Amino acid sequence: MTSENITLLRIGELHRVSQVPIKTIRYYEALGLIQADQRTEGGFRLFYPEVADRLAFIKRTQSLGFSLEEIGHILNIHDQGELPCAEVRQQLQIKITEIDQRIAQLQTLRTELISLTSESPSLEEISDDVICPILQSPG
């Protein structure tokens, strides 16, 4: 791809196209998730327009619970000319398992909270060191 036929975007233009904050674009570049094609004589970063698609992929993948490290791994596979779909599918299965575990933990917590709201601890003979008998009563 040559930059002669393509209008490269300055970071501010990339921000406007992608709606990703400039600070975040710089951070992603520092992490190696994206890269500037070149710089102007004044040192401004210049990006291919396709970087906006890559930023959209990063944001979408983050919204699905992927860490930047995981996203970097997926992008590295892609950058080597391979489709990372097998890796993505495996990571999605791991995330589903993690969500199921978190749901179970939240259901246990919910049950405990419901139990605490329905119990009426005896307010008689409460010592001064008790802050709230509801939370301090044995469960």
* The predicted structure's pLDDT at residue 4: 58
Task: Please state which architecture CATH assigns to domain 1-67.
Answer: Orthogonal Bundle (1.10)
Q: Can you tell me the mean pLDDT for 62-89?
A: 96
* pLDDT exceeds 70 at position 81: yes
- pLDDT category at 3 given cuts 50, 70, 90 is very low
Domain ranges of the chain: 1-67, 83-117
CA–CA dist 135, 95 (Å, integer): 33
Q: Can you tell me the mean pLDDT for 106-112?
A: 96
Burial of 59 (0-12, 13-18, 19+ CB in 10 A): middle
- pLDDT category at 63 given cuts 50, 70, 90 is very high
- What's this model's pTM, rounded to 2 decimal places? 0.77
* pLDDT exceeds 60 at position 83: yes
